[in-house]
């Protein structure tokens, strides 16, 4: 069984990777509204990283934090390229958020009450990101291209 | 049965009220991180209002939009004052998001496919806000005050 410190370090890697993905997604889309959503998610993951670092510092004072090169099982990797439709990236990000949420809920079980609350909070927030991404993905899949949706947002008098 | 245009106008009122609530919540909290979250939600609701206005314009061209003074059944009102704990506001905002989500899903049933997709999108996004607010509310209820959480976010070199 992987020890607690290693699990938390994997969580750090997961936040770094998620942040990278949302920044990449933000760069991939030309739509200002969707860009803003990805930037918000990217900012959220950056704050989660700080929160997890602080949990590690409290639980393992005086120990070096070693962030693994890549996430391991059970966290899925995102493998989209810039040629892929944005819906593919959103679907992979949804999977990653859902698995990260479960992963964090499991880490929470190994922590003291206060830190468990923080980890459970992160688990819940990642799940809210899942639903947020799902709504965007489903809309994109229904319209031929996302720009159509943005045109509708800008129709006006 | 309330007619479709009136339902959409109630949806507009709901977006205006939600935006006001999140702006009020943003003013009520001194915590920069929570403030940012409320500002994000407020911005989301402002964009939803534009989307709903555009649906009304497409469905009822040449008709005046009349926004009702207040939301009616089934949308709950938020009644917190500045003296109330932020958790109370979050709980009421959660209820409002959930009911609004159901309300929009019902409106979607009365729309053509394209507009129904947009309304279903709004319904799903409001539900994602519900989960987002729930995560924040649960964390706040677990810590004596939210500042404690923010202190933890800033521990460290």
Q: Tens digits of per-residue pLDDT, A65-79?
A: 999 987 765 667 777
Mean pLDDT of chain B: 86
B36, B120, B138 member nearest A124 (Cβ):
B138
DSSP one-letter string for B78-106:
P---TTS-HHHHHHHHHHHHHHHHHHHHH
Q: Could you tell me which chain A residue has the CA closest to the CA of B148?
A: A114
Q: Does B156 touch chain A (CB under 8 A)?
A: yes
Q: Which residue has the higher pLDDT, A64 or A86?
A: A64
Q: What are phi and psi of B150, to 5 degrees?
A: -70, -30
**What is the tens place of the pLDDT at every residue in A123-155?**
999 999 999 999 999 998 887 555 555 555 554
Distance CA B71, CA B97 (A): 13
Tell me the mean pLDDT in the region A13-26: 91
Q: What is the DSSP letter of A84?
A: S
Q: What local confidence, expressed as pLDDT, does residue A157 receive? A: 40
Angle (CA) A39 A91 A49, round 5°: 45
Token code pair at residue A134:
């799902």
CB count within 10 Å of CB A57 equals 16
Give this prediction's pTM: 0.88
**What is the tens place of the pLDDT at every residue in B101-110?**
999 999 999 9
Residue holding tokens 């949308």?
A: B75
Q: Does B60 touch chain A (CB under 8 A)?
A: no
Tell me the mean pLDDT in the region A88-95: 91
Tell me the mean pLDDT in the region A101-121: 93
CB B49 within 8 A of CB B12: yes
Q: What local confidence, expressed as pLDDT, does residue B144 receive? A: 58
Q: Which residue has the higher pLDDT, B90 or B148?
A: B90
CB count within 10 Å of CB B1 equals 6
Interface test with B, best of A153, A154, A156 (most B CBs within 10 A): A153
Q: Would the CB atoms of B117 and A128 count as touching at under 8 Å?
A: no
Distance CA B29, CA B24 (A): 9
Q: What is the DSSP letter of B111?
A: S
**What is the tens place of the pLDDT at every residue in B49-87?**
999 999 999 899 999 999 998 776 566 777 777 778 888
Q: What are phi and psi of B85, to 5 degrees?
A: -65, 150
Of A38, A54, A55, A43, whose CA–CA distance to A15 is shortest? A43
CB A153 within 8 A of CB B47: yes
CB A44 within 8 A of CB A129: yes
Q: What local confidence, expressed as pLDDT, does residue B1 receive? A: 54
Give the pLDDT band (50/70/90) at residue B98.
very high
B118, B128, B153 member nearest A152 (Cβ):
B118
ipTM of the complex: 0.85
B3-67+82-143 CATH fold: Ferritin (1.20.1260)
Distance CA B60, CA B54 (A): 10
Q: What local confidence, expressed as pLDDT, does residue B156 receive? A: 43
Distance CA B152, CA A79 (A): 34
**How far off is chain B from A3, nearest CA to CA, in Å?**
23
Angle (CA) A30 A35 A74, round 5°: 115
């Amino acid at each position: 069984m992987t020890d607690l410190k290693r699990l938390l370090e994997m969580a750090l890697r997961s936040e770094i990777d998620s942040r990278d993905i949302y920044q990449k997604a933000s760069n991939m889309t030309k739509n200002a509204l969707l860009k803003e959503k990805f930037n918000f998610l990217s900012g959220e993951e950056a704050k989660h990283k700080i929160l997890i670092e602080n949990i590690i510092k409290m639980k393992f004072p005086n120990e070096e934090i070693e962030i693994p090169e890549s996430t391991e099982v059970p966290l899925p990797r995102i493998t989209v390229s810039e040629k892929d439709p944005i819906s593919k990236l959103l679907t992979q990000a949804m999977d990653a958020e859902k698995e990260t949420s479960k992963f964090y809920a499991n880490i929470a079980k190994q922590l003291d009450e206060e830190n468990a609350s923080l980890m459970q909070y992160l688990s819940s927030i990642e799940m809210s990101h899942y639903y947020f991404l799902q709504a965007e993905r489903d809309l994109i899949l229904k319209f031929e291209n996302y720009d159509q949706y943005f045109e509708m947002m800008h129709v006006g008098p």
